[in-house]
Amino acid sequence: MRKFLVAGNWKMHGSRASVAALVEGLLEQGTMPCQTLICPPVIFFDQLQRQLVGSSIGLGAQNLDWHDSGAYTGEVSAAMVLEFGCSHVLVGHSERRSLFGESDAQVGLKVEKCLSSGLTPVICIGESLAQRQADETFAVVQRQLDAVIRQVGVTALRHSIIAYEPVWAIGTGESATPEQAERVHAQIRQYLAKQDESLSQNIQLLYGGSVNGENAADLFAQENIDGALVGGASLKVDDFLRICRAAV
């Protein structure tokens, strides 16, 4: 039986004060109703690691460099995030791919580094609007998945999470319908089943793209949706909690 996971991707938002207030609001509710992860900018890791002591909320990074250390200005290593209690890393988010030129091959290297460091990669995949309109949705998703599988092998995905995030649904307020999302999730699971049946049954497949307190329950009712990667709504205590409660 797969567990639900709700992960908040805070992107480049927050200040010392707003981050403290947001987490205080979450902690006031007591134990989180489902497995919960927040992915703040790494600059807040120290502050949040202290604030999250004794809580079930996990800490994730939004990105990672695949080198151990060295002259890589602006980058952050696996060892660095581990030192601050980080357990998960978003890898290959569409904003990293489109705005920062991250390639499929680099995503593979980052996943490999996560796995060899004991971090769980949340591998983000998804098509653009033009690709969907050209009926290329699964071809794109498959290409992105294959690049990772080529690098680490399919079995390594046992320690990974996949987030299907159609680019056209990110930050637009226009979520994929539960049926649209479920269709792609089922295709991903079937594709993985051809290579490793038990992996395909156990791997968590999150949906991301304009998930909010209103639409989460319908998305989570789908057979192959095991949670959400939430952007904008993860910055609001009430919305984020509503999504987490829908995941029970």
Q: Pick the catalytic residue: 95, 127, 165, 182?
A: 165
110 is in an annotated binding site: no
Whole-number Å distance between alpha carbons of 105 and 224 = 27
- Residue 168 labelled as part of a binding site: no
CA 58 to chain centre: 12
Closest CA to 124 of 132, 186, 140, 115: 140
Token code pair at residue 146: 């294959």
Of 15, 25, 76, 74, which is closest to residue 47 (Cα–Cα)?
Answer: 15
> What distance in Å separates the CA atoms of residue 169 and residue 240, rounded to the nearest whole number?
18
DSSP letter string, 154-174: GGGGGG-EEEE--GGGTTSS-
Which parts of 163-222 interact with ligand 13P (CB under 6 A)?
Answer: 165, 170-171, 208-211
Closer CB to ligand 13P, 13 or 154, in the complex: 13
Q: Compute the least distance from the CB of residue 97 to ligand 13P, in Å.
A: 12
Q: Which of 5, 181, 216, 230 binds ligand 13P (CB under 6 A)?
A: 230
Q: Is 67 one of the annotated active-site residues of the chain?
A: no
Q: How many residues bind ligand 13P (CB under 6 A)?
A: 14
Binders of ligand 13P among residues 48 to 107 (CB under 6 A) are 93
Q: Which residue's CB atom is positioned nearest to ligand 13P?
A: 231
165 is catalytic: yes
- Determine what percent of the chain falls in helix, strand and coil, rounding each to the nearest 5: 50, 15, 35
Q: Rank residues 48 and 176 by Cβ distance to ligand 13P and give the closer one.
A: 176
- Specify the residue, 128 or 135, whose C-beta has the smaller distance to ligand 13P: 128
Q: Which two tokens stand for residue 78?
A: 């696996």
The distance of Cα 218 from the centroid of its chain, to the nearest Å, equals 19
Nearer to ligand 13P, 54 or 173 (CB): 173
Which positions lie near ligand 13P, rule CB under 6 A?
9, 93, 165, 170-171, 208-211, 229-233
Residue ranges of the binding site for substrate: 9-11, 171, 210, 231-232
- The residues annotated with a catalytic role in the active site are 93, 165
